[in-house]
Structure 1
Amino acid sequence: MKFAERGIVNRDLVNILHNNVRESGQVVGDVYSLAACNEIGHRRLMDMMDEFRLSDLEGLAAFVFARSREATLAAIAALPRGRCENVMRVDGYGAPIDIAVALDVAEDHIAIDLAGTSGPSPKGINCPIIYSAAYACYAVKCAIAPEIPNNHASLAPFRVSAPGDCILNAQRPAPVSVRHVLGHLVPDAVLGALLRMLPGRIPAEGSGALWNLHVSVRPQGGVAAARPGARSAEVLLFNSGGMGARPQRDGPSTTAFPSGVQSMSIEATEHVGPVIFWRKELRDGSGGLGRQRGGLGQVVEISASAGHEFHFNAMFDRVAHPPRGREGGADGAAGAVRLDDGTVLAAKGRQHVPPERRLVLELPGGGGYGPVAERSAEAREEDRHYGY
């Protein structure tokens, strides 16, 4: 029986979606999958409560919140008191943006001040303060209390502030549609501020924001001139560059941080729309050198299928300002956006790829950590396999 027939998904909602969105099959499928997740979660919760003879969750919740807050406060108390600061420059949209962070560590809280960050943008990369605060707190928690459950009690001791004319505290009517492009870079800026306070625990900068690629594929010459079998499609891809090197280990390659998003397989993506992947491979030599090497980015080469062409919306960063190394490590390789004939394209905005050309994305590599002279002979031998 379908979810709509069982009342789990409202039939009117399904009809509205089917008749008012461009890719109704995908959107309705998303709604059904979310409904299925919620139903399974509900079943398992009820089974757990039956197993332990719980009539409600109030007592359990209170225990978890109390222990989470106590553990977070203990982690803060173990830090040295004082202020640490960092400024990280990224590409922005049309002009570079500085993300400024000052952390003040007190006995029972950490204040995170974003004053000094660049002003708002006319483009949609502005971030509401709740979004900026979430990623700023996430960075601090990863550094000082990674094992503590993530809930309101464990986050309460982190206090985030930003001036109203700051791109990380967007005010109405500032556009915020692609806020992740800047918001996903906030953790590296915060971690950079913590570097001197927590030596030997903070990784180098990584690629940060996902390289989301929104492709609009159309029949060549328009629908009216399309040959049999031609079709239109909207395809969204999630691609990740390299993470920064860690003090004791190389950075993970093509790994999303701070996002946890993974992309579909290229086979599944090619099934969704008339696109062809010619390459999706590690980008040799893209990780910054150092005692520990930064994670590698990747190269993605894509074209429309025969009889089609496409536009794409670029939402990329770390092209003009690559991820920086730490403690003597080299910067990671900058990203690049181009056609297969070498034509350089913009890192942001809607652009056209001619039918005879392929789009090539070269994603950034993570920064290195520590002096390269301290890199082990075994690691140097491995590096040779990756183009160093």
Structure 2
Amino acid sequence: MSKQALAAIRTQVMWNRLIAVVEEQAQSLLRTAFGTITREAGDLSAGVYDTKGRMLAQAMTGTPGHVNTMATAVEHFFQWYPVRDMRPGDVFITNDPWLGTGHLFDYVVMTPVFLGKKPVAIFASTCHVIDVGGVGMSARAYSSFEEGTLIPHLKLRKEGEINEELLSVILANSRNPIEVRGDLLSLVSANDTGARRLIDMMTEFGLKDIDKLAEHILTQSEKATREAIKALPQGEWSYEMPLDGYEAPIVIKSKVTVKGGKITIDFTGSSPASTRGINSPRTYTHAYSVFGLKAVIAPHVPNNIGSLSCFDLVTEAGTCVDPTRPSPVTARHVIGQMLADATFGCLAQALPGKVQAESAGSIWILSLSSAHEQVSAKETQGAQRFQVTNVGLGGIGGRPDKDGLSTTAFPSGIGAIPVEITEAQCPLYFKRKQYLPDSGGAGEYRGGLGQIIEIANREDKPFIISAATFDRIHNPAQGREGGSPGRKGNAYLGSGPKLKDKGNHVVPAQDSLVVELPGGGGFGRPQARSEAAIKADIAAGLVSDEAAEKDYGLAS
């Protein structure tokens, strides 16, 4: 074997090793985080960067919203802390929505790595903490000032010493200080784990820096992505997606242009920013729209700044996909996590028959708390104080050759939080959590099912649900290639009344909360679905006899 071939193999081994390093970084965070949304659902990201702030590799564990926003977030730290001024043991932190991951609940923690006294790389990680003060996990604020405490780019650790004064400010503005402190220190620990493993790797391979490896990774990733883009038809395609919004409906207007080895996604003409906290800052808009493009065009290419550089984003400042400060943004994923489907709508025209149907999109965060200060003191007398988070998952759209996945988060990819975990933290309990039959859109390939969840209180006391992230109640996921829409979502009290908006709602004592998650759209004409597949769905309880006859023409 030639020296050139051996060198290429060695480089590939180092690249794979780098990915393993950041995966261990992410696993460290999963194992030490205090918050259930992180340790159980995997709502996090971890990555390694060169000293220029360019993302080289990301962990397999994590969400596109975190990873792709961090791709640009690290560079912002350099405005205040140039690499030349960093010292071993330093750690930096921010939760600035416009320079981080899109809302105050996500802290980005950045750690420079030194070989001796020389900076050789940077590790960064982020996770969602349960509380940052303000109105909590709610979309009812009118500005980001009401949403919680913003921490600008500061040092969390200086040459090995934790900045307890900064931590005290953060914790004094949280309803869950112990949990938040644990999550922040877990982020620090995760980065330290990555740093140690990188130094071990460099020592093993005799590297004094990773600059040459970084250039190889980014060059090859960009080259592979551009080749995938060049294989696409050249042209321009547009799509409109209506969403429920908050105080008024919202329309996302997307236009994809493929030209000269580059793709531009343009959201010009989308609705103005909402007065409530469902807006998606540009960094978050970029993260999910680019993820949608890459998922269809170049899923085989590793995700780093090289492959991401092949996609351009155009937005209008002041719109719901590019709100300006201090627009409220807490529930930004209501819009942001719909943007993959917005890009799919364009790509489906360029690649007919090859793009999946629309999905439920944004996850429904079940932010549950005791009703203290929300109802009369008499109603909460003797009640346990609590604030917990669970998640509801809808269905993924039918695919060109497969049914959509049921109760699966797309495009975020986070997992479910076991009901036992939530029940152990508070007096609430789950009366049911199961598939919602007939919620997947009919098609040759059926849309994935949503789920129905019912929650009640063991105490004879009211509790609060924030409906900030509940969407597709009025606008279902659309089918593709003749497929039918998925079922709309729904949220109501067990006694009957519906939750009418994205505000905070009281669930009275002895009553319950019921949520029905939306299903994914169907792919292909329902008449083309095989009889065997329909009968299998009926036998599994996924499709009722009535729906089989109505949607597929199969008499029971």
Q: TM-score, normalised by structure 2?
A: 0.66
Structure 1 residue 43: Cα displacement: 2.2
Question: Of the candidates 195, 217, 220, which is equivalent to residue 370 of structure 2?
Answer: 217
Q: 2:435 — aligned with what?
A: 282
Q: 2:260 — aligned with what?
A: 107
| 2:206 alignment partner AA | R
Q: Secondary structure at the match of 1:351?
A: strand
Q: 2:186 — aligned with what?
A: 33
Deviations along 1:148-194, one digit per CA (max 9) or x if unpaired, are 11111111121111223422111233222211111111110110110
Matches of 1:225 and 1:131 in 2, distance apart? 38
Question: Of the candidates 498, 517, 542, which is equivalent to residue 344 of structure 1?
Answer: 498
Structure 1 residue 97: Cα displacement: 1.1
Q: In terms of mean alpha carbon deviation, does 150-159 or 25-34 score higher?
A: 25-34
- Inter-CA distance 237–215: structure 2 relative to 1 (3 Å threshold): same
Question: Of the candidates 365, 382, 388, which is equivalent to residue 536 of structure 2?
Answer: 382
- Inter-CA distance 13–165: structure 2 relative to 1 (3 Å threshold): closer
1:226 maps to 2:373: no
Matches of 2:161 and 2:398 in 1, distance apart? 46
Structure 1 residue 218: Cα displacement: 4.1
Structure 1 residue 250: Cα displacement: 0.4
Matches of 1:199 and 1:124 in 2, distance apart? 36
Q: Quick check: 2:442–2:484 contact (8 Å CA) kept in 1?
A: yes
Question: Of the candidates 136, 144, 148, which is equivalent to residue 297 of structure 2?
Answer: 144
Structure 1 residue 32: Cα displacement: 2.9
Q: Quick check: 1:303–1:358 contact (8 Å CA) kept in 2?
A: yes
Q: 1:303 — aligned with what?
A: 456
Matches of 1:26 and 1:309 in 2, distance apart? 24
Question: Of the candidates 239, 255, 263, which is equivalent to residue 408 of structure 2?
Answer: 255
The alignment yields a C-alpha RMSD, in angstroms, of 2.2
Question: Of the candidates 508, 513, 528, which is equivalent to residue 354 of structure 1?
Answer: 508
Q: 1:202 — aligned with what?
A: 355
Matches of 1:15 and 1:308 in 2, distance apart? 33
Q: Quick check: 2:380–2:462 contact (8 Å CA) kept in 1?
A: no
Q: 1:367 — aligned with what?
A: 521
Q: 2:135 — aligned with what?
A: none
Q: 2:148 — aligned with what?
A: none
Q: In terms of mean alpha carbon deviation, does 299-308 or 64-73 score higher?
A: 299-308
Matches of 1:91 and 1:180 in 2, distance apart? 13
Structure 1 residue 233: Cα displacement: 0.8
Structure 1 residue 16: Cα displacement: 4.0
Structure 1 residue 309: Cα displacement: 1.8
Structure 1, gaps ≥5 residues long: none
Structure 2, gaps ≥5 residues long: 1-31, 33-156, 545-556
Q: Quick check: 1:332–1:367 contact (8 Å CA) kept in 2?
A: yes
Matches of 1:8 and 1:260 in 2, distance apart? 35
Deviations along 1:307-355, one digit per CA (max 9) or x if unpaired, are 4321111021000001011111111000000011221112411111101
Matches of 1:267 and 1:23 in 2, distance apart? 20
Q: 2:334 — aligned with what?
A: 181
1:319 maps to 2:473: yes
- Inter-CA distance 152–280: structure 2 relative to 1 (3 Å threshold): same
Q: In terms of mean alpha carbon deviation, does 169-178 or 350-359 score higher?
A: 169-178
- Inter-CA distance 221–375: structure 2 relative to 1 (3 Å threshold): same
Structure 1 residue 203: Cα displacement: 0.5
Q: Quick check: 1:336–1:347 contact (8 Å CA) kept in 2?
A: no
Q: In terms of mean alpha carbon deviation, does 317-326 or 258-267 score higher?
A: 258-267
Question: Of the candidates 224, 234, 243, which is equivalent to residue 90 of structure 1?
Answer: 243
Q: TM-score, normalised by structure 1?
A: 0.93
| 1:322 alignment partner AA | P
Matches of 1:10 and 1:273 in 2, distance apart? 32
- Aligned pair count reads 384
Q: Quick check: 1:274–1:308 contact (8 Å CA) kept in 2?
A: no
Q: Quick check: 1:287–1:294 contact (8 Å CA) kept in 2?
A: yes
Q: 2:142 — aligned with what?
A: none
Q: Secondary structure at the match of 2:350?
A: coil
- Inter-CA distance 12–154: structure 2 relative to 1 (3 Å threshold): same
Moved over 6 A (4+): none
Matches of 1:363 and 1:224 in 2, distance apart? 30
Matches of 1:203 and 1:147 in 2, distance apart? 17
Deviations along 1:65-111, one digit per CA (max 9) or x if unpaired, are 00011011101111111111111111111222111111111012111
Matches of 1:225 and 1:193 in 2, distance apart? 51
Structure 1 residue 116: Cα displacement: 2.0
Deviations along 1:177-222, one digit per CA (max 9) or x if unpaired, are 2111111111101101100211232100010001012112147963
Matches of 1:148 and 1:44 in 2, distance apart? 24
Structure 1 residue 305: Cα displacement: 2.3
Give the % identical residues.
41
